[in-house]
Amino acid sequence: MGSIHPNGFIVAHINKHVVIMWKRWRGDILKRLTEQSASKAVNRASEATLEVALNQVPLDEGTLSESGIVRKNPSDLLEYAVSFGGGGNTGFPKVPYAVKWHETPANFQHGRKHNYLRDPIKTFAPGAVNKELKKELAKTWS
């Protein structure tokens, strides 16, 4: 019916659903494993969102695109930030025109555009998070 996971719970697949049963309740382990898996998934989705944004960011000398970064909030496993423009503790010098080129329509070349970060976050990121969560949690719970 199911298999025993190394952490002591039984994983069964019933009607295409994963069912987890415990011989002895150890929810703390499941919670820790789930949080770690979710963090990995959100990190991968954030990195993929950055890649999409890198294909849209205005490109002249490459300074703005090189400032693109994914940062994890050290106090929250599930909070990641995708940003451009450097400054602060990003490790990149501040790119003063980053906000201007993000917010102002202009005649960018080669498919580059304004809203180079907003659009991927709104259109690509939700699906990427969902896909990566499904993939990572399936590995964790099977």
| 2-56 per-position pLDDT tens digit | 566 666 666 666 667 766 666 666 678 888 988 999 999 999 999 999 999 999 9
| Any domain includes 121 | yes
Total number of domains constituting the chain: 1
Residue 122 in tokens: 């709104």
| Any domain includes 22 | no
Mean pLDDT, all residues of the chain: 86
Q: Which residue has the higher pLDDT, 62 or 127?
A: 127
Q: Are the C-beta atoms of 53 and 64 separated by less than 8 Å?
A: no
| Any domain includes 9 | no
| Any domain includes 62 | yes
Residue 106 in tokens: 């202009």
| Any domain includes 77 | yes
Phi and psi, residue 70, nearest 5°: -110, 125
What is the residue range of 110's domain? 36-141
| Any domain includes 14 | no
Is the pTM higher than 0.85? The answer reads no
Rounded distance between C-alpha atoms, residue 49 and residue 70, angstroms: 9
pLDDT of the residue at 10: 66
